[in-house]
Amino acid sequence: MKVDVLLGLQWGDEGKGKVVDVLTPAYQVIARFQGGPNAGHSLHFEGKKYVLHTIPSGIFREGSINIIGNGVVIDPVILSEEIAKLEKDGVDVQGKLLISKKAHLILPTHRIIDAASEASKGKTKIGSTLKGIGPTYMDKTGRNGLRVGDIVSGEFEERYGRLKEKHIELLKQYDFPYDICDYEKEWLAGIENLKRFRFIDSEHVVNSLLQEGKAILAEGAQGSMLDIDFGTYPFVTSSNCTAGGAVTGSGVGPTQIKRVLGVAKAYLTRVGSGPFPTELFDEVGDKLGEVGHEYGVTTGRKRRCGWYDGVVVNYAARVNGLTDLAITKLDVLGCLDEIKVCVAYECDGKRYTTVPEHQSVFYHAKPVYETLPGWKCDISGVRNFYQLPREAKDYVDFLEQLAGVRVSIITVGPDRDQTIDRYWK
Ligand code: GDP
Ligand code: IMO
Ligand code: MG
């Protein structure tokens, strides 16, 4: 019937997993369209926290169909661990998960190349999650990769061996010691485990489901500023996290997409290296990190914290063709007397209200701030926009104005229930 897309607008960890989980009752199908185990999507409900890396965030809903699309890269070890945890919690993963035959496999040697490449970069390292994402997408575009469909092709072992040898040759250029034996054993066991799942041609399945009248939510990973094309290159990931990725990563045509919901945190965080004009190095930044529990769910790294950047979100709204905005973690700002919002950058005497074509601006941008009063209270129990304190409503309205897109959803806590639906339904 229709496809809606949900994606991140900043540098990842905006709270996408939580919002997908909230919205899933209205969709029969949830499809992840890019990224891989570099992602960590947290969901809280019934007093428990769950973290998903490769599996779509609809997996907990009864009767849902969860598709790992062709644009995703899969590490069979991490995916198998994720499945085992869910099955232990009583989730019927086998009955609800479909995996695209065209999704690429992350080999043990891809992880080593990732680590060797990062180590060789020294100070200019990307801050990769070291899950092998970049090297796997390189083999995909270089037309050397192994795909899920190859697992059952009859010549899998031979092809795996050939690609591994190629990687071992490549690794000779790095002075990087490694041993893949243990991980390789786990990897081969992971491949065996995946054979019990249904491998599909996601483009056909997704379109058939649409014809049957099913509603599909396409779930993005990472965020628009980590997009390989539109992000802060080279400090980005290796896939298209923006709306176009939903088309190429699942097989739906652009005319099937109805709404594009962008998720943005009420302040800003980033993990790994790269420019971050509104980053805070003071006690306010520390406070946001502490109150917001800003530690990466995939790597455990401390997230860098800063003020909301209206320039970034305005840009992301454009490149994604956003129809709706979700503002998450508004409750966290309740700890501050006043809140700053970046409304423009100043660079070489020029003022920018959206990211200019020359992204070098990011490196010298001086943020221009507008200061808004805080509300200094706990809003985590509020479920209706009109019950928010006036300052919080004004803050949301201000972000809406900067983005030029209506704020349809606001979240005020990690739990499924801690959500304000303003205009979405
Ligand atoms: P994702 O990668 O975009 O899915 O986001 P992550 O799960 O990596 O990071 C978001 C973190 O914020 C998780 O720990 C969530 O449980 C938490 N979270 C999500 N929404 C809210 C919210 O409204 N308030 C608070 N305090 N925490 C939230
Ligand atoms: P979710 O889906 C935040 C960052 C890494 C690094 C850069 C490249 O949870 O929002 P990679 O491993 O892809 O080569 O790393 O991208 N990164 C993320 N940051 N959230 C994520 O995913 C991320 N996935 C990758 O920290 O800076
Ligand atoms: Mg995350």
- Determine the distance separating the centroid of ligand 2 and the alpha carbon of 198, expressed in angstroms: 28
DSSP state of 303: P
- Determine the distance separating the centroid of ligand 2 and the alpha carbon of 259, expressed in angstroms: 25
Q: Helix or strand or coil: residue 408?
A: strand
Q: Are strands 350-352 and 338-347 parallel, antiparallel or unpaired?
A: antiparallel
Residue 119 has which token pair? Answer: 């180590």
How buried is residue 173: exposed, middle or buried, by Cβ count under 10 Å (0-12/13-18/19+)?
exposed
- Percent of the chain past pLDDT 70, that is, above it, reads 100
Residue 363 pLDDT class (50, 70, 90 cuts): confident
> Tell me, what's the pLDDT at 298?
79
Quote the CA–CA distance of 388 and 390 in Å, as a whole number: 6
- Contacts with 373 (C-beta within 8 Å, 6 or more apart), sequence order: 337, 338, 339, 391
Q: Helix or strand or coil: residue 263?
A: strand
User: Residues 344, 352: contact at Cβ < 8 Å?
Assistant: yes
4-32 burial code (b ≥16 CB/10 A, e <16): bbbbbbbbbbbbbbbbbbbbbeebbbbbb
Mutate to test the pocket of ligand 1, among 6, 9, 13, 18 (most ligand atoms within 8 A of CB): 18
Quote the CA–CA distance of 140 and 134 in Å, as a whole number: 10
Atom of ligand 1 nearest to the CA of 57: 4
- Determine the distance separating the centroid of ligand 1 and the alpha carbon of 414, expressed in angstroms: 6
Q: CB atoms < 10 A from the CB of 140, how many? A: 21
Residue bearing the CA closest to ligand 2, atom 15: 128
Residue 351 has which token pair? Answer: 């003022």
Ligand nearest to the CA of 114: 2
- Angle between helix 108-121 and 181-194 (nearest 10): 130
The answer, yes or no, to whether residue 412 has pLDDT greater than 80, is: yes
> Tell me, what's the pLDDT at 128?
95
The answer, yes or no, to whether residue 246 has pLDDT greater than 80, is: yes
- Contacts with 61 (C-beta within 8 Å, 6 or more apart), sequence order: 24, 25
Write down the number of H helices and E strands in the chain: 13, 20
The answer, yes or no, to whether residue 130 has pLDDT greater than 70, is: yes
User: Residues 298, 42: contact at Cβ < 8 Å?
Assistant: no
Atom of ligand 2 nearest to the CA of 271: 26
Ramachandran angles phi, psi of 399, nearest 5°: -65, -35
The answer, yes or no, to whether residue 53 has pLDDT greater than 70, is: yes
Q: CB atoms < 10 A from the CB of 353, how many? A: 14
- Angle between helix 390-403 and 310-320 (nearest 10): 50
Amino acid at site 321: G
41 included as an active-site residue: yes
Quote the CA–CA distance of 342 and 353 in Å, as a whole number: 9
204 included as an active-site residue: no
Atom of ligand 2 nearest to the CA of 223: 10
For the stretch 315-333, pLDDT in tens is 999 999 999 999 999 999 9
- Determine the distance separating the centroid of ligand 3 and the alpha carbon of 221, expressed in angstroms: 8
- Determine the distance separating the centroid of ligand 3 and the alpha carbon of 318, expressed in angstroms: 23
Catalytic residue among 4, 21, 41, 110: 41
Q: Which helix (H) or strand (E) holds 48?
A: strand 48-52
Whether the CB of 222 sits within 6 Å of ligand 2: yes
Q: What is the mean pLDDT of the chain?
A: 96
Once rounded to an integer, what is the mean pLDDT over residues 32-59? 97
- Percent of the chain past pLDDT 90, that is, above it, reads 93
> Tell me, what's the pLDDT at 68?
98
> Tell me, what's the pLDDT at 159?
97
User: Residues 1, 29: contact at Cβ < 8 Å?
Assistant: no
For the ranges 44-58, 210-224, 296-310, 350-364, the lowest mean pLDDT is seen at: 350-364
The answer, yes or no, to whether residue 361 has pLDDT greater than 90, is: no
User: Residues 109, 171: contact at Cβ < 8 Å?
Assistant: yes
C-alpha closest to that of 320 among 247, 252, 414 = 247
> Tell me, what's the pLDDT at 65?
97
> Tell me, what's the pLDDT at 158?
96
Ramachandran angles phi, psi of 344, nearest 5°: -165, 165
For the stretch 77-128, pLDDT in tens is 999 999 999 999 999 999 999 999 999 999 999 999 999 999 999 888 999 9
Residue located via tokens 């979700």:
326
Atom of ligand 2 nearest to the CA of 13: 10
Residue 1 pLDDT class (50, 70, 90 cuts): low
Residue located via tokens 């966290």:
332
DSSP state of 42: E
403-422 burial code (b ≥16 CB/10 A, e <16): bebebbbbbbbbbbebbbeb
> Tell me, what's the pLDDT at 157?
96
Distance of CA 20 to the CA centre of its chain: 11
For the stretch 267-300, pLDDT in tens is 999 999 999 999 999 999 999 999 999 998 878 8
The answer, yes or no, to whether residue 391 has pLDDT greater than 70, is: yes
For the stretch 337-360, pLDDT in tens is 999 999 999 988 999 988 877 778
Residue bearing the CA closest to ligand 2, atom 23: 222
Residue bearing the CA closest to ligand 1, atom 2: 13
Q: What is the pTM of this model?
A: 0.97
